[in-house]
């Protein structure tokens, strides 16, 4: 007589073994229809799973994150079923869930076309509407290998052959098709109502470039058509906001094959980049940081001592000199900062010592992973390392967290999620040291009053970290800042300070980045603001333009005056219609447009309009300069449009 304990603490007793679906039905017909799976003692299972003993149970529906994952995994199977029906010569490989959807890899001599995707999507819809029950069965490993070999599915057979012999193999089937899978899956294909195939790409079997190339079909799936439509609309908006497109339109930067993963900054883009640095420099100086700069090329021995060579070596660029010394271009700034800390005798009275650097680093990224400014090989970090005593961890972590969140607010990011990333499988240091570091960071997070979610196994190889994730204007998340507690690297590199008892002690080192990569943050800003950067960040604050040649001298004089007052202003004195000029500079996302005709010249005024098209009336140059100054100082919280 199993007793089922539900999430609200209620219990239900049955006089026989019962399935998850039957429990859902005993609660209500609506829940039975909505059930996609269950969590039995925390483990995700199918609705057909039989419960034979006392257990805890949560019914999973499409309102749960696990329910969405079940939908997407099941839709990947629906795709594979459609492929085998329409293109039976195709072999199937794997089809996992990914962010916002799924993919499935196929081996097929003839490439899939756009027309093929349309046919597949139509067949998937037919299969979903047929509401085919999804069944599960198990086979011994060798029997499963033989089964898939008999079907000509050598990739599936290879996957199963790599599974330990004692493990039962689960297969999921629907209609005339069956696939290897751990599950769980929806009870029937009728639960799959909103999906779309997105694109085809190449992918190597098992991700190894030495293996054959497969075809990967990407798709997305959602609980309802409304959610699917909203997602597709977000994609359309994201395309309009693509930072690479905006970079070209605004003449900010470009990238080319001769320097993969590196940026060619144009004048306006470089001006914005330097404004980011200037802003962060002022913030850090006010927070007690001292700016330093370390070498970009350092001997292999230092990277071995820090642990980077062993943990990160395949991502480092190296060179060998004629005397056979091996050097690495730095992928991180921390070992250099430890070397600066080690110069001279440090007392506990000197701590905290806060070093900051706008350090250029290089990391090898596979060419397929490169993506504009978002994923590069050469980038600048706003890196900082704080050397402290163990007793100072909480206070310094709180200060760093407050600084990070205040800076994000200045850039228009109010929605910031925080993740706690603990020890990764590949790491340096003893478990006892990790226990101490994780406990210290948890205590600091609690003291800062922040809420966080656990991101297990994703800490740095030398210490746990807090990750700061920004949500942008169209609901996408970007992981930017980090705060890490490191009890390992200072010890490995021989750093110490003298305590109050005249004894040597190893300092704790906090690693802190806010932008993370300045290049990536630049791209995020462009997409978040759709290229319409706030005036305080814009490379040009205003464009002054004449209506006819009669105003040329006046407009030039006004522009010269505004420049002396710190306004970044350009002149447009071309013999073009003023409407054409306004449209052109609006498309360039210039915050303010200043127009002068005969009436404005006579009264020493400017007609002011914003890039949104709002007419802000007339004002004299001095009044415009003063109002703009207030806007710049307030980081855009008060604009001329207010």
Which residues are annotated as catalytic?
334, 363, 381, 383, 385, 465, 511
324 contact partners, CB below 8 Å, separation of at least 6: none
**DSSP strand E in 83-153: where?**
91-92, 97-98, 101-107, 134-139
Peptide bond into 352 cis (omega under 30): yes
Distance separating alpha carbons of residues 320 and 14, to the nearest angstrom: 73
Closest C-alpha to 256, from 337, 363, 361, 372: 372
Sign of CA dihedral 18, 22, 28, 30: positive
Beta bridge partners of 290: 355
Neighbours of 638 (CB within 10 A): 12
Distance separating alpha carbons of residues 624 and 226, to the nearest angstrom: 46
1 alpha-carbon distance from chain centroid = 48
* Sheet hosting strand 297-299, strand order edge to edge: 297-299, 326-329, 318-320
134 alpha-carbon distance from chain centroid = 35
3-state secondary structure of 184: coil
Distance separating alpha carbons of residues 525 and 273, to the nearest angstrom: 11
In this structure, are residues 316 and 309 in contact, taking their beta carbons and an 8 Å threshold?
yes
In this structure, are residues 221 and 117 in contact, taking their beta carbons and an 8 Å threshold?
no
In this structure, are residues 639 and 609 in contact, taking their beta carbons and an 8 Å threshold?
no
3-state secondary structure of 463: strand
Distance separating alpha carbons of residues 108 and 92, to the nearest angstrom: 9
135 alpha-carbon distance from chain centroid = 37
Beta bridge partners of 306: none
In this structure, are residues 75 and 88 in contact, taking their beta carbons and an 8 Å threshold?
no
Tell the residue number behind the tokens 């906090």, with chain if given. 510
- By DSSP bridging, strand 592-596 and strand 542-546 are parallel
Tell the residue number behind the tokens 């409407």, with chain if given. 579
Which DSSP state fits 223?
S
In this structure, are residues 609 and 595 in contact, taking their beta carbons and an 8 Å threshold?
yes
Distance separating alpha carbons of residues 421 and 456, to the nearest angstrom: 6
Distance separating alpha carbons of residues 437 and 490, to the nearest angstrom: 13
Which DSSP state fits 371?
B
Q: How many CA atoms lie within 13 A of 633 on its CB side?
A: 7
152 torsion bin: left (phi>0), alpha (psi -120 to 50), beta (else): left
């Amino acid at each position: 007589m199993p007793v089922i304990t539900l999430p609200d603490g209620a219990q239900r007793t049955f006089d026989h073994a019962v399935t998850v679906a039957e429990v859902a039905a005993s609660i209500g017909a609506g829940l039975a229809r909505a059930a996609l799976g269950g969590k039995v003692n925390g483990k995700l299972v199918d609705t057909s799973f039989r419960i034979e003993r006392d257990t805890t149970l949560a019914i999973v529906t499409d309102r749960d994150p696990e329910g969405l994952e079940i939908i997407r995994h099941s839709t990947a199977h629906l795709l594979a079923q459609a492929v085998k029906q329409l293109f039976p010569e195709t072999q199937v490989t794997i089809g996992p869930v990914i962010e916002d959807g799924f993919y499935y890899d196929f081996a097929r001599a003839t490439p899939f076309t756009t027309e093929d995707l349309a046919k597949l999507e139509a067949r998937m819809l037919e299969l979903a509407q047929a509401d085919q029950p999804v069944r599960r069965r198990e086979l011994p490993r060798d029997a499963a290998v033989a089964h898939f070999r008999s079907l000509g599915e050598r990739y599936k057979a290879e996957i199963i052959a790599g599974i330990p012999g004692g493990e039962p193999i689960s297969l999921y089937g629907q209609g005339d098709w069956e696939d290897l899978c751990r599950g769980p899956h929806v009870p029937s294909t009728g639960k799959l109502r909103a999906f779309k195939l997105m694109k085809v790409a190449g992918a190597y079997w098992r991700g190894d470039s030495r293996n054959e190339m497969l075809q990967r079909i990407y798709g997305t799936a959602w609980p309802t058509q409304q959610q699917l439509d909203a997602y597709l609309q977000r994609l359309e908006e994201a395309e309009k906001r693509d930072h690479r497109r905006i970079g070209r339109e605004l003449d900010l930067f470009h990238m080319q094959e001769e320097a993969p993963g590196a940026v060619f900054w144009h004048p306006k883009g470089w001006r914005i980049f330097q404004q980011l640095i200037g802003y962060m420099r002022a913030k850090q100086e006010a927070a007690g940081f001292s700016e330093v700069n370390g070498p970009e090329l350092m001997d292999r021995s230092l990277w071995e001592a820090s642990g980077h060579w062993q943990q990160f070596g395949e991502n480092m660029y190296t060179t060998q000199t004629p005397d056979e010394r091996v050097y690495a271009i730095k992928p991180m700034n921390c070992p250099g900062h430890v070397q600066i800390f080690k110069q001279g005798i440090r007392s506990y009275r000197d701590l905290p010592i806060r070093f900051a650097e706008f350090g250029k680093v290089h990391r090898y990224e596979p060419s397929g992973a490169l993506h504009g400014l978002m994923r590069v090989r050469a980038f600048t970090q706003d890196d900082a390392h704080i050397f402290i005593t163990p007793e100072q961890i909480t206070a310094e972590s709180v200060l760093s967290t407050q600084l990070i969140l205040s800076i994000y607010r200045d850039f228009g990011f109010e929605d910031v999620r925080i993740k706690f990333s603990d020890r990764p499988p590949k790491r340096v240091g003893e478990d006892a040291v990790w226990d101490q570091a994780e406990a210290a960071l948890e205590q600091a997070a609690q003291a800062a009053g922040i809420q966080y979610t656990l991101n297990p196994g994703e800490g740095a190889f030398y210490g746990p970290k807090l990750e700061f994730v920004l949500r942008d204007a169209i609901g996408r998340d970007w992981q930017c800042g980090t705060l890490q507690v490191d009890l390992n690297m200072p010890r490995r590199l021989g750093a110490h300070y003298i305590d109050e008892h005249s004894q040597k002690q190893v300092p704790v080192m906090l690693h802190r980045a806010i932008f993370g990569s300045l290049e990536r943050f630049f791209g995020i800003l462009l997409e978040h603001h759709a290229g319409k950067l706030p005036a305080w960040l814009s490379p040009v604050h205003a464009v002054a333009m004449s209506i006819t040649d009669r105003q040329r001298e006046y407009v030039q004089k006004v522009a010269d005056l505004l420049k002396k007052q710190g306004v970044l202003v350009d002149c447009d004195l071309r013999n073009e219609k003023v409407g054409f000029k306004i449209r052109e500079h609006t498309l360039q996302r210039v915050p303010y447009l200043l127009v002068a005709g005969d009436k404005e010249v006579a009264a020493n005024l400017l007609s002011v309009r914003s890039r949104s098209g709002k007419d802000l009336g007339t004002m004299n140059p001095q009044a415009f300069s003063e109002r703009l100054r207030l806007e710049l100082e307030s980081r855009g919280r008060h604009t001329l449009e207010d």
